Amino acid sequence: MASSSSSFTSTRTTTSQEDRKRLSWKERIFAPTLIAGVVGGGVGLLSKHRPTLGAANVSATYAANFSIVTASYCGAREFVRATRASGPDDLLNSAIGGFASGALLGRLQGGQVGAIKYSVIFAIVGTSIDFATLQLSSHLDKYRESMVGGNVKSEQKTGWLRLPEWSPIQVLDEEALAAKRAREEQLYGQRTIGNLEKE
């Protein structure tokens, strides 16, 4: 009986790990591609070609190019990660994926010389961006933890967001809320009495 429950637990754990891998796979390819498209559209709006070719055409071209480059880089990086059976935060995956995607896009753009040039550029830039993202993600996680809180009791007490002590907006607990209501009723009573005396 114990073996069947342990196999059920291990199957359930494996399924949740696969779900996490599937979600993170989408996040590591689809989300950067969308972000790159938005950034590309913004760069297109600032381009020097905007007056002659039109803002919409230039923005759409930049957005498409940024998205294609990012999708090919992220796809190659994930292919290398799956082939090497390594973790998503391994920077060697980024270097190899950047080299491969740069070689492919460089070959399409500028022949053999372009393939060499683009592969080196993609490997360096892609690995640098992934390194910076890994470094920033730990700091963002710490910041998010400080804002949201870690345990269930603090979530129930202060809601989903814990404001800093210096904030002028404070979340009141039940005792402070009752004291505030008592003060408001007292002030309302004084104001009502003051209005009656004027009449």
Is the pLDDT at 100 greater than 60? The verdict is yes
**Amino acid at position 7, single letter:** S
Please indicate whether residue 100 or residue 12 has the higher confidence score (pLDDT): 100
Is the pLDDT at 86 greater than 50? The verdict is yes
Q: What predicted TM-score, i.e. pTM, was given to this entire model?
A: 0.60
Q: What is the mean pLDDT of residues 88-108?
A: 87
Q: How far apart are CA 169 and CA 162, in angstroms?
A: 11
Q: What angle do CA 85, 130, 121 make, to 5 degrees?
A: 100
Residue with tokens 């460089």: 106
pLDDT tier at 22 (50, 70, 90 boundaries)? low
Domain ranges in the chain?
Answer: 2-149, 163-199
Q: pLDDT digit string (tens) for 160-175?
A: 666 677 777 777 778 8
Is the pLDDT at 198 greater than 70? The verdict is no
